[in-house]
Structure 1
Amino acid sequence: MSFTLTRRPLWALLLTCAALSLTACGDKAAKPDEHGETEADFERGPHNGRLLRDGDFSLEVTIFETGVEPEFRLYGYRKDKPLDPRQVNVEVALTRLGGKVDRFSFNPQEDYLRGAGLVREPHSFDVAVTAREGGKAHAWRYASYEGRTTLSKVAAEAGGVKVEVAGPATMGEAVTLSGRIEVTPEGKGEVRAWYPGRIMSLRGELGQMVRKGQILARVESSESLQTYSIPAPISGQIIEKNSNVGDVAYDRPIFVIADPTKLHAELFVYPRDSERVRVGQKVEVRSLSGADRILATVESILPSVDVTSQTQLAHVHLPDGAGPAWRPGLGVEGGVTVASRPVALAVRTGAIQRFRDFDVVFARIGDTYEVRMLELGVRTPEWTEVLGGLEPGTTYVTDGAFLIRADIEKSGASHDH
Structure 2
Amino acid sequence: MNQDKTMFNKSHFVFLPMSSLLSIAALILLIMSPAIAEDGHAHEAPQSDQQAQAQLAESNQQHDHEITHDKDNHDESMPKEDEHDHSAESKPEEEGHAHDAEDEGSEHVEMDDGMAQKHGVVTAEVTAGQISVTSKLYGRVVLSPDEISQVRARFPGQITRVYVNFGDSVKKGQLLASVESNNSLQSYNVTAPISGVITAKDANTGEVAADQSLFTITNTQSLWAELKVFPGQAMNIKPGQKVRLLHNNTFYESTIKQLLPSKDDAPYRIARVALDNQQQVWFPGLLVEAEAITEQTEVKLRIPNSAIQQFEGASVAFVKVGNQYQVRPLQLGLNDGQFSEVISGLRQGDDIVAENSYLIKADLEKAGAAHAH
Which category describes the TM-score, using the shorter chain as reference length? Answer: 0.5 to 0.7
Question: Is 1:295 matched with 2:247?
Answer: no
* Distance in 2 separating the partners of 1:196 and 1:398: 64
Task: Give the aligned partner of residue 202 of structure 1.
Answer: 162
Once the two structures are TM-superposed, the CA of residue 172 in structure 1 deviates from its matched residue by 0.9
Check 1:234–1:412 CA distance in 2 against 1; reply closer, same or farther (3 A cut): closer
The alpha-carbon distance between structure 1 residues 175 and 323, as it changes in their structure 2 partners (threshold 3 A), is same
Any idea what SS the aligned residue of 2:327 has? strand
- Which of 126, 131, 134 does residue 174 from structure 1 map onto? 134
Verify: 1:263 aligned to 2:223, yes or no: yes
Deviation of residue 170 (structure 1)? 0.4
Amino acid at match of 1:386: V
Shift of 1:358: 0.8
Point out the structure with the larger helix share: 2
For residues 137 and 315 of structure 1, what CA distance do their matches in structure 2 show?
76
Task: Report how far residue 171 of structure 1 moved.
Answer: 0.6
Q: TM-score, normalised by structure 2?
A: 0.66
Post-superposition shift, 1:273? 2.5
Q: Which residue of 1 aligns with 2:321?
A: 365
1:137 is paired with a residue whose SS is helix
Structure 1 unmatched ranges of 5 or more:
1-130
Residues 151-170 of structure 1 mapped to structure 2, 5 A cutoff? 151-170=111-130
Alpha-carbon separation, structure 1, partners of 2:206 and 2:232: 53
Q: For residues 414 and 137 of structure 1, do their structure 2 counterparts lie closer, same or farther at Cα, with a shift above 3 Å needed?
A: farther
Q: Distance in 2 between matches of 1:349 and 1:236?
A: 38
Shift of 1:135: 5.7
Q: Name the amino acid aligned to 2:123.
A: V
> Is 1:388 paired with 2:344?
yes
Query: Any idea what the Cα deviations from partners look like across 1:344-375, whole Å, max 9, x if unmatched?
Result: 22221121111112111112222222211112
Post-superposition CA distance 1:89-119 (Å, at most 9, x none): xxxxxxxxxxxxxxxxxxxxxxxxxxxxxxx
| Aligned twin of 2:105 | 145
| 1:190-248, Cα deviation, whole Å (9 max, x unpaired) | 21133455555433221112233333234465677766442222232211224555665
1:314 paired with 2:266, answer no
Q: Quick check: which has more Rg, 1 or 2? A: 2
Q: 2:310 aligns with which of 354, 357, 364?
A: 354
Counterpart amino acid of residue 154 in structure 2: W
Match of 2:241?
281
Q: Aligned partners of 1:413 and 1:341: how far apart in 2?
A: 42
Shift of 1:341: 0.9
Give the number of aligned pairs.
282
Note if contact 2:222-2:278 (Cα within 8 Å) is conserved in structure 1. no
Aligned to 1:234: 194
The sequence identity of aligned pairs, in percent, is 33
RMSD across aligned positions (CA) = 3.1
Equivalent positions of 1:2-401 (< 5 A) are: 134=86, 137-138=89-90, 139-140=92-93, 141=96, 142=100, 143-196=103-156, 199=159, 201-219=161-179, 228-244=188-204, 249-287=209-247, 289-290=248-249, 292-302=250-260, 304-307=261-264, 309-319=266-276, 322-401=278-357
Judging changes above 3 Å, is the alpha-carbon distance between structure 1 residues 199 and 372 closer, same or farther for their aligned structure 2 residues? same
Alignment CA distance shift 1:387-1:341 (3 Å): same
Distance 1:135 1:372 in 2: 35
What are the superposed Cα offsets for residues 239-292 of structure 1, whole Å, 9 maximum, x if unpaired? Answer: 1224555665445422111234333333333333332222211122332x32x4
- Please report how far the alpha carbon of residue 397 of structure 1 lies from its aligned counterpart in structure 2 after TM superposition: 1.3
Q: Describe the shift of the 1:307–1:156 C-alpha distance in structure 2 as closer, same or farther (beyond 3 A).
A: same
Q: Read off the aligned partner of 1:312 and give its amino acid letter.
A: R
Asked if the contact 1:146–1:415 (Cα under 8 Å) also holds between the matched residues in 2, the reply is: no
Is the contact between residue 203 and residue 216 of structure 1 (CA under 8 Å) also seen in structure 2? yes
TM-score (norm 1): 0.59
In structure 2, relative to structure 1, the CA distance for the partners of 1:406 and 1:229 (3 Å cut) is closer
Aligned with 2:89: secondary structure? strand
Structure 2 unaligned spans of 5+ = 1-82
Q: Which has the higher strand share?
A: 1
